[in-house]
Amino acid sequence: MRECLMAFMLVVAFMAGSIQAIAEEATEEVKVESEVASETEIVLTPEEFEKCRVIYFDRCAGCHGVLRKGATGPDLTPGKTKAKGTKKLREFIWFGTGGGMPGWGKMGTITAKDTDLLVKYIQNDPPVPPQWDMKNVKASWKLLVPPEERPTKPEHDRDVDNMFAVVLRDAGQIAIIDGDTKEVVSTVDSGYAVHITRMSMSGRYVYSIGRDGKCTVIDLWMAKPDTVAEIRCSLDARSVDVSKFKGFEDKYAVVGGYWPPQFVILDGATLEPIKIVSTLSYTYDTEEFHPEPRVASIVASHFAPEWVLNIKETGQVWLVDYTDPNSPGIKMIEAERFLHDGGWDSTKRYFLVAANARNKIAVIDAKEKKLVALIDTGGIKPHPGRGANWIDPEFGPVWATGHIGDSVVSVIGTDPVNHPEHAWKVVRKINSLSSGNLFIKTHPNSKWVWLDTPLSKKAKYRTTVAVYDKANMAAGIFKELKVADYGKAVHMEYNKAGDEVWISIWGNLGDAEKGQAGEIVVFDDKTLTEKARIKGLLTPTGKFNVYNTVHDLY
């Protein structure tokens, strides 16, 4: 019975996620310990395995992969981990590394006991993960409210364009908040650990994607917005987007999978699955077969009926034509490894995406459908989110990214027409508060650029944000704003007008009774003073204003 339960747990582990960032920076020389843990030392009970599964899924899948063969983070298969030794592995998990891995223990994210269990977990062989084919996808599909039964016009007088979809990450929910009144209008269940939300071109529907591969769509026209359809497109996922090109508005959606490595095209209104496509392929540089090329991020082109899919491990950008979703055309563009997040420049023609294992930004021309530049950012592990666009007084239109592994902001010229001498070059490298940055944000109506550092090794910077003056970036001076005294200050988002900035305080579910599970702090963007606090939220992280998300303003 014990053996059967253990086998079941091994399968479940891969049906939910992966494992945690652990090994040291690739360039760091480490003395390999001769002591290798004995079989007795690395045995886990089924209960311990299940506990590790949750931690592994939450903290590790993104960097090390379901198969644990490495991507942005190093290989974590037993042949590598056992050679490091238990002591060294524990130090990596607890203290982090100079290469950008957070110190999960030192930050208080996991306990000493859980750290010890993780050390054992990664010295065990990874189980063979299950697949998730169209039969499984269709079986998971639930049309809760058919289109003909939905409102024909908004059932409220709220400004839908200024609503916010807020990810309550660890609670597995989405909060819909009125941007004008700051009222939580509705809280609906979603997938687990939702990574992002995206809006239909009309602004009516909110699409979420959980780390468990569950996609949901919420109708904002309802008196109380609620889920109208859901589907599980994969077992681990982080990306979703919709069709935006003229004539295809609100028609299709697409979900990119981490495991299995694939994407699924869906009906935009109902989420009925149309087509599933594997991303199994070969690395762009060495042309070696890769068993886990994950869809890291997706954006919708404004120049063609296409989605831009970033295939992480192979270093390819795929332009997927959805004109005929049953036979999608795919153009593969060689870029760099390992692709992660990115966003459009101010013209929406050029897509800039981080290849954060190579510390580069790849630039894709969506109009000409080609790679136009690979830019060395001069920092470790760029992590732009969608980045930030503004007009620099010296260099013209620019886009910027922060870094997980470096205390630097890289500002890149993006105007090859009027400022060709600055285009696709780092025109400014500016100091930031700390390493551990995840998001950078601005708005066309704002004079400021905001930067968070929730993964900083220094506790004081995790709850502090930096604010830069666009007109005086050359000075490299920023204002420090303390946002909270607990949790992590993460992910800035503007309201529709661009005169408010919303910042999440990501606390812990276990601290709900102390009022420290989370809240949103709203700042007046002109005065940089606190304007409101939306309390009682459970672990808020990303938040997305409808208007800004539809129009790709960042």
- The residue annotated as part of the active site, out of 195, 290, 340, 403, is 340
Is 163 among the residues known to form the active site?
no
DSSP E strand stretches across 132-251: 142-143, 163-168, 173-178, 184-189, 196-199, 205-209, 214-219, 226-232, 236-242
- From the list 426, 378, 374, the residue with the least C-alpha distance to 406 is 378
Q: Is 354 helix (H, G, I), strand (E, B) or coil?
A: strand
- The residue annotated as part of the active site, out of 9, 101, 199, 492, is 101
- The residue annotated as part of the active site, out of 195, 290, 383, 422, is 383
Is 4 among the residues known to form the active site?
no
* Tokens encoding 161: 């364009």
CA angle 14, 20, 21 (to 5 degrees): 140
Q: Is 215 helix (H, G, I), strand (E, B) or coil?
A: strand
Is 64 among the residues known to form the active site?
yes
Separation between Cα atoms, residue 231 and residue 508, nearest integer Å: 28
Is 9 among the residues known to form the active site?
no
**Cα separations (Å) of 236 from 109, 116, 375?**
21, 25, 30
Is 60 among the residues known to form the active site?
yes
- The residue annotated as part of the active site, out of 9, 52, 63, 473, is 63
Separation between Cα atoms, residue 195 and residue 77, nearest integer Å: 26
Separation between Cα atoms, residue 231 and residue 267, nearest integer Å: 11
- The residue annotated as part of the active site, out of 52, 64, 199, 215, is 64
Is 443 among the residues known to form the active site?
no
First to last CA, the chain: 54
CA angle 521, 465, 551 (to 5 degrees): 70
Number of helices followed by number of strands (H, E) in the chain: 9, 35
Q: Rounded to the nearest 5°, which phi and psi values hold at 68? A: 65, 25
Q: Is 452 helix (H, G, I), strand (E, B) or coil?
A: strand
- The residue annotated as part of the active site, out of 52, 60, 107, 233, is 60
Separation between Cα atoms, residue 271 and residue 138, nearest integer Å: 10
| Percent helix / strand / coil, the chain, rounded to 5 | 20, 35, 45
Separation between Cα atoms, residue 245 and residue 201, nearest integer Å: 9
Q: Is 438 helix (H, G, I), strand (E, B) or coil?
A: coil
Query: Could you count the other beta carbons within 10 Å of the beta carbon of residue 245?
Result: 18
Place of tokens 């997980």: 404
Pairing of strands 295-300, 408-413: unpaired
Question: What residues act catalytically?
Answer: 60, 63-64, 101, 340, 383
